[in-house]
Structure 1
Amino acid sequence: MVPVLLSLPLLLGPTVLQETGTYSLIFLYTGLSRPNKGSPRFQATAFLNDQAFFHYNSNSGKAEPVGVWSQVEGMEDWEKESHLQRAREEIFLMTLKDIMDYYKDSAGSHTFQGMFGCEISNNRSSGAFWRYAYDGKDFIEFNREIPAWIPLDPAASNTKLKWEAEKVYTQRAKAYLEEECPAMLKRYLNYSRSHLDRKGTHSFQDLLQTLS
């Protein structure tokens, strides 16, 4: 098993970005062991600054742009994005099951959440994070400096062993946060900068508080 974001490669085209400003790209994932009738077992939302720009859920199996982003052509290949999100869904829910097995707790409803993203300021990477929570409590987070996954819950030590079984996966997590995510954000800005600038900008920490 590998971390959610590493299930499929991300294909990022070349990008040219000259203007200055501060922008962020954040993904929020939620998996439920026993969703209410009709509710999705898994859903993902991506945010540019504090604005949701695409959503995916396990009921539809489709990643789709939301709001004004549905009017922006060429920003993303939504068929490929849907395929990627379905792969992430499978791994995400498998991790939730592993945690429940660790605690031998199959009763009731349990929630697993992941949040990760990056920020660029003045066209340079200026921040990134990647962390998970189980039933509303911190579970595990990635430390880019070591680099390593840091357990924040007893069950997370088992998750850490699985995710670090091959060193390449830790290296790819670091590369995603420091290279791939900022490159993807810059590519999105080629399509969306004018709209985001009209809405104003927010600090990275403010956004984390808003979305957590």
Structure 2
Amino acid sequence: MDTIVSALLSLLLLLGPAVPQETQGGPYSLSFFYTGLSRPSDGFPSFQATAYLNDQDFFHYDSETGKAIPRYPWSQMEGIEDWEKESKLQKAREDIFMVTLKDIMEYYKDKEGSHTFQGMFGCELQNNKNSGAFWRYAYDGRNFIEFNKEIPAWVPQDPAALNTKKKWEAEEVYVQRAKAYLEEECPVMLQRYLEYGKTYLDRQGIHLLPTSYSSAPH
């Protein structure tokens, strides 16, 4: 499991930022939402991930297509992201995510019915400064575990999450990387996406308005 945790954090950091220009105003947000199902059904794959820039879909990935597919208008921009590389990253995250779901089900001996594991993480910018960040998970609709970057540590909110906390904090470097992602990497990625798309969006008469999205959902 140490290898899995290391891989997850490495994948997050592999999205590495380019040097951004300043983005004023806001708030603007970059957020990722993951859902894993123990028993997928028609129209609901075993795993899906959606990224948002503010309240607009940025790209979507699911276990059936195995591809990260950018949404309009981001799909019209060449070079904003290497989508083949992004697809591989999301596939690796899918594998990690589903292993965690299996671990929780084994802890509770949940062999009957369908069970859901959800995750969300992201950051927010206000006047070119990091103004908020979050990283949390839920199991079957109940709060499971969340990262507190001020401590920093993973804070269990479910009995099974105590085991998850131990695994994810096996080495201090994993905690520090999670903190660095929320406070440094994510905001710079958000600036990069905003600046990269600004020229195209302005030319097309499309405006990415400041978001009403809250950085602290429950």
Same fold by TM-score, threshold 0.5 exceeded? yes
Residue pair 1:119, 1:204 contacting (<8 A) in 2 also: no
Task: Specify which of 49, 69, 74 is matched with residue 64 of structure 1.
Answer: 69
Cα 1:142/1:6, change in 2 over 3 Å: same
Matched, 1:138 2:138: no
Matched, 1:6 2:31: no
Report the AA paired with residue 22 of structure 1. Answer: P
Aligned to 2:166: 161
Deviation at 1:3, TM superposition (A): 7.3
Matched, 1:32 2:41: no
- Identify the range of structure 1 (188-197 vs 150-159) with the bigger mean alpha-carbon deviation: 188-197
Residue pair 1:139, 1:156 contacting (<8 A) in 2 also: yes
Task: Specify which of 86, 91, 105 is matched with residue 86 of structure 1.
Answer: 91
Partner SS state of residue 67, structure 1: coil
Residue pair 1:4, 1:92 contacting (<8 A) in 2 also: no
Partner SS state of residue 198, structure 1: coil
Aligned to 1:100: 105
CA distance in 2, matches of 1:42, 1:16: 35
CA distance in 2, matches of 1:26, 1:208: 11
Aligned to 2:155: 150
Task: Specify which of 82, 92, 101 is matched with residue 77 of structure 1.
Answer: 82
Deviation at 1:14, TM superposition (A): 1.4
Q: CA RMSD in A?
A: 2.0
Task: Specify which of 40, 48, 51 is matched with residue 53 of structure 2.
Answer: 48
CA distance in 1, matches of 2:131, 2:213: 9
User: How many percent of aligned residue pairs carry the same amino acid?
Assistant: 66
Deviation at 1:19, TM superposition (A): 3.2
Residue pair 1:117, 1:128 contacting (<8 A) in 2 also: yes
Deviation at 1:107, TM superposition (A): 1.1
How many residue pairs end up in the alignment? 209
Residue pair 1:7, 1:87 contacting (<8 A) in 2 also: no
CA distance in 2, matches of 1:96, 1:40: 15
TM (normalized to structure 2)?
A: 0.89
> Post-superposition, which runs of at least 4 consecutive aligned residues in structure 1 deviate over 6 A?
none
CA distance in 2, matches of 1:139, 1:174: 19
Residue pair 2:26, 2:211 contacting (<8 A) in 1 also: no
CA distance in 1, matches of 2:7, 2:35: 12
TM (normalized to structure 1)?
A: 0.92
Report the AA paired with residue 109 of structure 2. Answer: K
Residue pair 1:27, 1:115 contacting (<8 A) in 2 also: yes
Q: Could you report, residue by residue, the CA deviation over 1:12-62 in whole angstroms, capped at 9, with x for unpaired residues?
A: 221122533321000000000001146311000000000011000011111
Structure 1 gap ranges (5+): none
CA distance in 1, matches of 2:192, 2:82: 13
Deviation at 1:163, TM superposition (A): 0.5
Partner SS state of residue 52, structure 1: strand
CA distance in 1, matches of 2:114, 2:184: 36
